[in-house]
Amino acid sequence: MERVILHVDLDAFYASVEELRRPEIRGKPVVVCVYSGRTEDSGAVATSNYLARELGIKSGMPIAFAKRAAKGKDIVFLPVDMEHYREVSERIMNLLEEHADRFQQVSIDEAYLDVSDGCTGNYPCAEKIAQEIKGEIKEQEGITCSVGIGPNKYVSKMAGKRRKPDGLTVVRAEEVADFLKDLPAGKLHGIGGKTEEELNTLGIKTAADIAAYSLTSLEKEFGKNKAKLLHDKALGIDDSPVEQKDKQQLSRIATLKEDTDDTDKIFKKISELCSDMNKKLQNKIAFRTISLITIDTHLQTQTRSETIPEADDACSVLPSYRTLIDRFFSENPGKMLRRVGIRVSGLSYKDVKDKKEQKSLFDY
């Protein structure tokens, strides 16, 4: 079966999320930082939006250097808010998983989707899925993503890097060699600056140069394993699977028909989400914690949680969700909600004989 893999990368994720919840900073360079606390400017840049990147400010740069580059510019520096970013990421990753035959999240803002079962060698089919994903993320969260489509994980990731932000690039199996050949060696994912320098000293500048170089000669310079890795990258070879991993939590989220503070309408939507959640639980997964997720009209997210006796039926804990709804509004009078969601965590698997069967719970 010819594989078709999507790589989804959320564009300047932390900065995009901050722009969404702080409309006043949109259109400005935004830098999100991890402050060490030693001094006002100690720490490093976690990410920056594309306007800040045009000023030379990139992830990993010391904050002091970034502020020097920003001197005299109308630029915004913000601290990381990982809890909020994880909330947004979780919602998006749940959305992505719904489109995949097999799904692998590799970071807070990046994932692979194997759609081979439904789109065997059918790239228009995969492209349609990618467009649906991009539209849903934009509608649900207000941010963009870049998607690469290819015959394996490596090529799909390289394709996704071709057009950013908000890009979509398709590289079919027969197009891989042409797609990669003119790329500088250092632009191939996984090849660092030191290796690029070593390749350059051998007269190897591009992926095509690596591919044309004798594997035996590469082995003499880099050793057998690294030589094969370099050769495979230059040729776009990657047999690694999209690895479905066990979930630590499950969630469902939906947009209300209209902005509202009507607890009965909100509870009705929660009831629908609980029924949908049970399709995932299948009476085979139990949980110990439930959470109510609320997103108001200003796109501010809040979460209320409660630990319960172990349960395997989301609908059986509806009274607890009603309590969480009432608690939210008692603490936030006058708030209007746009979207609501539920989450179950503290998962345990019942009557599961082995790891393989455990993974299959999510393979549908």
Q: How far is CA 271 from CA 65, 231, 261, 292, in A?
A: 51, 54, 16, 12
Cα dihedral sign for 273, 274, 280, 285?
positive
Contacts of 274 (CB under 8 A, 6+ apart): 314, 315, 317, 318, 321, 342
User: Which regions of the chain does DSSP assign to beta strands (E)?
Assistant: 5-10, 30-35, 43-48, 76-79, 102-107, 110-114, 145-150, 168-170, 249-260, 285-296, 301-311, 337-345, 348-349
**Which position among 110, 136, 141, 219 bears the catalytic label?**
110
Nearest to 180 by CA among 203, 157, 199, 200: 157
Q: Is 239 left (phi over 0), alpha (psi -120 to 50) or beta?
A: alpha
* CA count, 13 A, side-chain hemisphere, 265: 13
Please state at what angle helix 82-97 crosses helix 13-21, rounded to 10 degrees: 110
Do you find a cis peptide bond into 79, omega within 30 degrees of 0?
no
Closest to 240 in 3D by CA, of 7, 16, 55: 7
Residue 19 among the catalytic residues: no
Residues in the chain, overall count: 364
| 3-state DSSP assignment of residue 186 | helix
The CA distances from residue 326 to 192, 319, 321, in Å, are 53, 11, 9
Report, as residue numbers or ranges, the catalytic residues. Answer: 110
